Structure 1
Amino acid sequence: MRLVGCVPNFSEGRNKTKINSIVEEIKKIDGVKLIDVSTDYNHNRTVVTFLGEPEEVAVAAYNACRRAVELIDMSKHTGEHPRMGAVDVVPFVPVKDVTMEECIELAEELGRKIGGELHIPVYLYEAAATKPEREDLAYIRKGQYEGFFDKIKQPGWEPDFGPREVNIKSGVTAVGARPPLIAFNVNLNTQNLDIAKNIARAVRNSSGGFRYVKAVGVNLEDKKMVQVSMNMTDYKKTPLHRVYELIKAEASRYGVSIAETEIVGLVPSEALLETAVSYLQLHGFRNEQILENYIYE
């Protein structure tokens, strides 16, 4: 069985009725398995993960996007997470017997449909990017929804699909193809947002930190703490435990401790195993020693 993953991010994390309606569009498609739905009130964002054969996943992705733009009004949206559209980003991920090139084709097909049928500007990113600078999602999203109205008119900012005009209700969407990433958040025992922003600046690639880390500092109003919110784009080259330890060290400079961490959506077992091996200082540990590997086989 050929498997591709899709991990759309929708700019709604507070209205359960709307979220459930979007997710139902995915569940309707035979051959598609809904894996995870992660909502965050402070971010006002929902991340959905589903798997299946490429053709069925493409149908489910479009149907969910179509429903989301019917329900979400970006002109009224607020949240801590950077965003530019009701359907903020839709990545396709090769999982089993599917190539990155096939995922790029899926991204192009979906982007063309969103642009043409839903009348939303679409930018292709990561492996599907049509310009080198657009490989970086943060580059595309800079200025967010509010800033795109002027940005889209500037030279070099024509979308790959759809009108060269921001859809007031639905904003702008990025569609792409990428390897698996880990959405890893670290919550700090403080309400000082400047501390989280400073630590995010220390760990993210764009500010001189780790090559495969994107990070921002956000406020978690309901928890009375702040968060370093990260995307780990290559956990093999920048492992979780290395980033965690730097955040821990940076936080201690401000007299702050780590309250908890979280992973949004799915995570490759290899990433957690590497973390366990590092902290337990296991010498010569092999994957063949994991009992569940034999069970799954």
Structure 2
Amino acid sequence: MAANNPNSKEKKSVMQSVLLCCKLHISESRNREALESIQRAAKHDPETVIVNIFEDREYNRINYTLVSYVIHDATTGSPIYCPLQQTVVAIAAAAYDGINLELHSGAHPRLGVVDDITVHPLARASLDEAAWLAKRLAAEFGNRFQVPVYLYNDAHPTGKALDTIRRELGYYRPNLRGIQWAGWPHMESLPVKPDEGPDVVSRARGITMIGARAWVAMYNVPIMSTDVSAARRIAARVSARGGGLPAVQTLGLLHGEGTTEIACILLEPNQIGADHVQNRVEMLAAQEDLDVEKGYFTDFSPEMILETYMKLINAS
């Protein structure tokens, strides 16, 4: 179709205008064979740009940040094509082939092999366009891979939040010694009907969350202690849910032999940023006589992602 194959001048204009960013969180970072297969799949389409890859062996989790353009129908203006869709599906196929959730363990919660997919608008894209792609991905995952899919935020009919769905599904409850997640979680049936896919779960694949939302930042603060209970107390008092910082969600997790972490999602990073979180964690940790290291982001800012994308497509 002509809409999917613009000439080079038109195509370059499209590739630099309406852009979507897709973040994939996959439950694996130790199986090199599986990761190499996923990496090959991530290069499935040269018009999808891999902007960042973040691996965490302790959490046994890898995050991909991908960017590509959106093509619209010339008559209606509706989105009709984005290379991200086929790239994400190719990555998922490789992940499901190479990873068995029943054999997985890690210090980070998860409910699926392809645990979470978030679509963010970039450049002149809108949340409506991000939601369009999220819904297309959800339908394909449900039909092709036969995994239950839960939509969230702007992709959900009522805007249901990701953390609300996760809480309903038991995402935050460790199932091994109170500090680790291993194998398929203990639930035997799904307490909430999925938006796409079957009502039964493959223990090898689990379920997938797919959503669209405005930009959020992931910021983790290391604490020099293995006291998970202390980390959880601090995390609770940092989060909005616990009466702490507005628009901040947190988890207190074990992270390696000598540290724990306060893993944070900053829902409004331009309002409540990393410096606010860092200061609050340091203050609360001092009350527990614990040392804190400087935190780190697990991904680039939207501005850095856009800049990296532009450099890579212009170079190619």
Q: Which TM-score band (shorter chain)?
A: 0.7 to 0.9
Match of 1:230 in 2: 264
TM-score (norm 2): 0.79
CA deviation map 1:9-61 (0-9, x unaligned): 00001112212211221212021111111111111100010111131111111
Note the aligned Cα RMSD (angstroms): 1.7
247-256 or 14-23, which deviates more? 14-23
Shift of 1:138: 5.1
- 3-state SS of 2:143 partner: helix
Match of 2:65 in 1: 49
Match of 1:248 in 2: 282
How many percent of aligned residue pairs carry the same amino acid? 23
- Say whether 1:70 aligns with 2:88: no
CA deviation map 1:52-101 (0-9, x unaligned): 11311111111111211111111121111111000000111101121110
Match of 1:121 in 2: 148
User: d(CA) in 1 for partners of 2:33 and 2:123?
Assistant: 33
- Say whether 1:26 aligns with 2:31: no
Match of 2:161 in 1: 135
Which has more helix, going by share of residues? 1
Question: Which residue of 72, 79, 83 corresponds with 2:110?
Answer: 83
User: d(CA) in 2 for partners of 1:23 and 1:108?
Assistant: 24
- 3-state SS of 1:258 partner: coil
Matches within 5 A, 1:195-210: 195-210=230-245
Q: Which runs of 5+ in 2 are unaligned?
A: 1-15, 71-81, 172-183, 305-316
107-116 or 30-39, which deviates more? 30-39
Question: Which residue of 39, 47, 59 corresponds with 2:55?
Answer: 39
Q: Which amino acid aligns with 2:299?
A: G
- 3-state SS of 2:146 partner: coil
Shift of 1:210: 2.0
Q: Which runs of 5+ in 1 are unaligned?
A: 271-297
CA deviation map 1:188-229 (0-9, x unaligned): 12221111111100011222222211111111224x111111
Shift of 1:149: 2.9
Alignment check: 8 A CA contact 1:48 1:265 kept: no
Matched residues, number: 264
Question: Which residue of 188, 192, 208 corresponds with 1:149?
Answer: 188
Shift of 1:139: 3.1
Q: Which amino acid aligns with 2:26?
A: F
Q: 1:40 to 1:110 in 2, by over 3 A?
A: same
Question: Which residue of 255, 265, 271 corresponds with 1:220?
Answer: 255
CA deviation map 1:260-288 (0-9, x unaligned): 32211222469xxxxxxxxxxxxxxxxxx
User: d(CA) in 2 for partners of 1:9 and 1:56?
Assistant: 19
Q: Which amino acid aligns with 1:214?
A: Q
Q: Which amino acid aligns with 2:156?
A: A
